[in-house]
Structure 1
Amino acid sequence: MIRKITADYLFPITRGPIREGVVVIDADGKILEIGARDQYDPSELEVYPGVIVPGFVNTHCHLELSHMKGKVDTGTGLLPFLQKVVRFRDIPQEEILEAIAAADQAMYEAGIVAVGDISNKADTADTKGKSPIRYYTFVEMFDFLADEHAQTVFDGYRQVFEAQDGRGSNRKSCVPHAPYTVSPSLFRLINELNRPGCTVSIHNQETVHEDEFFLSRSGGFLEFYRSFDIP
C-alpha cells in the first residue's frame, strides 16, 4: 500500500525544507519520492499538522544507566559524576531492566531511530534485540591504568561484547573508555580484537582536570584515583 503523507513542512536530507511537503512511502516504509502538496491528488493525501523530519540519532547514550534518571545531581562536573556512577550499586535487577525497556520505548516514541550506546554490562542486550531502534553498541573497557589486570579486565568485557546484540541492523565493537582509565596493555588488547574498519569511540580532553593530569600530574584526577585506592 502506497501512502502519501504531508504536513506543514517537510525536512528532507538532500535539500531545504518544503512547505506543505509530501513524502511517499511503500508498505515497508521505504521512501519512494518527495514533493510538494500541489503535485498530488488531495484525496490521496494523509494531512497532519506539524513537520515531517528524518529520524533522530542519539549519538551517545548509556541505556544501562536508565535507572539512575533523576537520582544523580546535575551540574557537578565530570569527576563527581563518575564517582557517583561507580558507587551506585545494590539496585534490583528487575528495576534496572524495566528502566532500560522504558527508556528504549521513550526514545522510539520521540523519533529516535538509531543510537550509539555505551555498555559496560550485558543488561541492555535483550531490549536491543527486540527494539525497532538500530543500536551500535560500544562495549567500553577500563582498568584504571592497572596494567597488571588488563587481561582479566579484558576477558570480562569480552563476555559482555559477546552477549550484546549484533544481529540484523545492530552493530557492536569494543572501545577504550578514556586515556586516564585505560592501561597500555588494555589498549593493545582492544586494538587486537577490533576488526579493520570498525567504529571506535573514546572520551578525550573533556575537562580541564584531564589536561592538568597529563601535562603536570596535578588536578582533580589525583584525588579521584585516591578515592578508589589507586596509587
Structure 2
Amino acid sequence: MSSSLLKPSESPFLSDLVNDARRFVLSNSWVIERAPLQIYCSALVFSLTKTQIRSRFEHLIPSWVSHKPGVNERWPDLVSVLEADSTVTSVAFSPLDDLIVFGSRDGKTRIWNYVTGTSLYEFDHSKSVWRVAFSPDGRTVASELEDGLISVRDFVNGSMRNLTGHSSGVAGISFSRQDSNILASLSYDMTLRVWNTHKAHEVRFFSVPGRTVTAVAFSPNG
C-alpha cells in the first residue's frame, strides 16, 4: 500500500491552518508548558485577532473574560529573539537540526533551538569566543577563542578536545563537508592548519605569507 505526503500546494487552507497553529504553540509555549488548563483564558485571549486559531476557538474563551486585551491582527515576520549577556561575535546554523550556536565576548558558547526559543547548552571558556562552527553531522561545535585556542565539543555526549598551535587569534574556521572530524583554521599568525578534531592533532600546516586572509572554506569534495 503506497502513501504520500500532502503537499501544501494541494491544500493551501490546511497548510495555512497548520502553520498558524504552529506559530500559536511556539509563541505561547511558556504558558502551555506550565499551565495547560489555562490555555483558553491565557494563551488564546492574547493571540492575534485575525489568525485562524483565534477565529476558530474564540468562542471557547471563558465568558468571565469580559474585557479582552488589545493585540495585533496578524503574526509578525519575526519568529523569535535570542539574547546573550554580552556582545555576540559569531553565529552558525546547524546543518541538520533547528539549532543555532553563537559565541560571545563573555567567553560563552551557547546553543539554542531557534524555533522554540529554548536554550539547550552553554559552555564557558577562559577567553572571549571569536568564531563558532557546526560540524556537518550536527553533533560537534567548534569555538575559537581570542588567543587562538580552538575548543571542539561533542555536545551530544559531552566530550571536549582542545586544538593548540596558533600563536594568534583565528580569522576563520571551517569543517570539511566530507568528514566531520576534519577542521581547517586560518590565523592572524599567517598560518593555515588542518586538524583531526577526534584525535586533537594537526594533520596539515601551511604558511600564508603576504596580506592577511580572513576566511577559509573546504571544497565540496573535501
TM-score exceeds 0.5: no
Larger helix proportion, structure 1 or 2?
1
Greater strand content: 2
> TM-score if structure 2 supplies the norm length?
0.29
